[in-house]
Amino acid sequence: MAQVFDRSSNALARFSLVLTGLIVIALGVALNELQRSPWVTKQGQRPDQPVPFSHKHHVQGLGLQCQYCHTSVEKSSYAGIPPTKTCMNCHSQIWTNAQLLEPVRDSWATGRSINWIRVHDLPDYVYFNHEIHVNKGIGCASCHGRVDQMPLMYQENTLQMEWCLNCHRNPAKNLRPTSEIYNMAWAGASSDNPVWCTTTQNTYGTGVPTAQGVSCVTKDPSGKNPEVAFLQNPPRPGAPAGTNGEGPMQPGRDSMGAGNSGFASEPKSITALGTTSSDVGAIPMPANYTKFTNQVDLGHFLMDKYHIRTANELSSCEVCHR
């Protein structure tokens, strides 16, 4: 039989096979890159919002707390976007003629909400919940980045499955005391920035244990500083709530403790510390603060106190795909 293909076509066939293989691999790599690219994950994009709202101005500049606007973040799966009313608390008086704020005034006048464009948006088949993360010691900045430095909001992390699992497999390095959740600058415990924690049930001010029965401070509880002055002078019984300096315009404080004075004013808690009512104001200091000078130790302590599930349990599919 006549040779239909000459020898060179054999080589050509082999060559084109190899070439096809290479193209397939290259496509695979490219698709994989694409799937992780900021273009797909939407990382860093700043959508055109109806109002160019600046977190930098309102958080870092004015000292507003996250919960002033994202009111449900501690008690619901959604953090929530504030209603126009929240803006009008100030903007009925400040910048009342600014062109930039026209959509806010318009929304207020008509009762139609401002159409903010979502920046973070997980697919519907993923279950996410703010409440549990925030109450188990994951700070806003761990997921959203330095919001206080963002003139316009953008997505800092990929929000892909791999990113979630990365933390779920080893949460300890990201855990912080729940009192530090809103602290944008938190960098973990270190010898320069130690953290003191106690499980004592009866302490004052910053030392009021959270629901998890543990509380931490970032200033030496045995030294002389304003936080301790407060520890030594608990509010008098009947003192109005919120006297410990909380308020929306107060920079740097966590208003999760806004309801604390009710606890501290209970006379019983004073006796339980082994002091009599006559030495109230004379150092009812809990003795058993533990000092943490590195994040590994603090992380493991908090894993235990917050009853964090094991890496295996937290990475099982049903946690996020229900």
Residues 156-185 that bind ligand HEC (CB under 6 A): 159-161, 164-165, 167-168, 171, 174, 181, 184
CB-side neighbour CA atoms (13 Å) of 145: 16
120 is an interface residue for ligand HEC by CB under 6 A:
yes
Which of 119, 239, 258, 280 is the binder for ligand HEC (CB under 6 A)? 119
63 is an interface residue for ligand HEC by CB under 6 A:
no
Q: For residue 281, which amino acid is it? A: G
200 is an interface residue for ligand HEC by CB under 6 A:
no
Q: Name which of 61 and 267 has its Cβ closer to ligand HEC.
A: 61
> For the chain, how many residues are written?
322
133 is an interface residue for ligand HEC by CB under 6 A:
yes
Which of 11, 132, 185, 272 is the binder for ligand HEC (CB under 6 A)? 132
Cα-based angle 176, 178, 179 (whole degrees, multiple of 5): 105
Which of 36, 42, 43, 128 is the binder for ligand HEC (CB under 6 A)? 128
Report the sign of the C-alpha dihedral through residues 293, 296, 297, 300, in that order: positive
The site for ligand HEC, by CB under 6 A, has a size of 75
Q: Name which of 291 and 309 has its Cβ closer to ligand HEC.
A: 309
- As measured in angstroms, the least distance from the Cβ of 291 to ligand HEC is 23
59 is an interface residue for ligand HEC by CB under 6 A:
yes
For residue 209, what are its two tokens?
A: 């244990």
- As measured in angstroms, the least distance from the Cβ of 322 to ligand HEC is 8
Q: For residue 103, which amino acid is it? A: P
For the chain, what is the radius of gyration of the CA atoms? 27
127 is an interface residue for ligand HEC by CB under 6 A:
yes
Report the sign of the C-alpha dihedral through residues 90, 95, 98, 100, in that order: negative
The gap between the terminal CA atoms of the chain, to the nearest Å, is 65
Instruction: Give the span between the Cα atoms of 284 and 269, in whole angstroms.
Output: 10
Instruction: Give the span between the Cα atoms of 180 and 139, in whole angstroms.
Output: 7
- As measured in angstroms, the least distance from the Cβ of 79 to ligand HEC is 3
Q: Name which of 53 and 204 has its Cβ closer to ligand HEC.
A: 53
Instruction: Give the span between the Cα atoms of 246 and 255, in whole angstroms.
Output: 6
For residue 221, what are its two tokens?
A: 């509880």
- As measured in angstroms, the least distance from the Cβ of 144 to ligand HEC is 4
Site for ligand HEC in 253-312 (CB under 6 A): 308-309
Instruction: Give the span between the Cα atoms of 265 and 267, in whole angstroms.
Output: 6
36 is an interface residue for ligand HEC by CB under 6 A:
no
Which of 107, 108, 143, 270 is the binder for ligand HEC (CB under 6 A)? 143
Residue whose entry in the numeric block shows the structure tokens 């030495």: 279
Report which of 225, 176, 169 is spatially closest to residue 197, judged by C-alpha positions: 176
230 is an interface residue for ligand HEC by CB under 6 A:
no
- As measured in angstroms, the least distance from the Cβ of 298 to ligand HEC is 14
Q: Name which of 142 and 215 has its Cβ closer to ligand HEC.
A: 142
- As measured in angstroms, the least distance from the Cβ of 217 to ligand HEC is 20
Site for ligand HEC in 76-105 (CB under 6 A): 78-82, 86-87, 89-91, 94-95, 100-101, 104
CB-side neighbour CA atoms (13 Å) of 178: 22
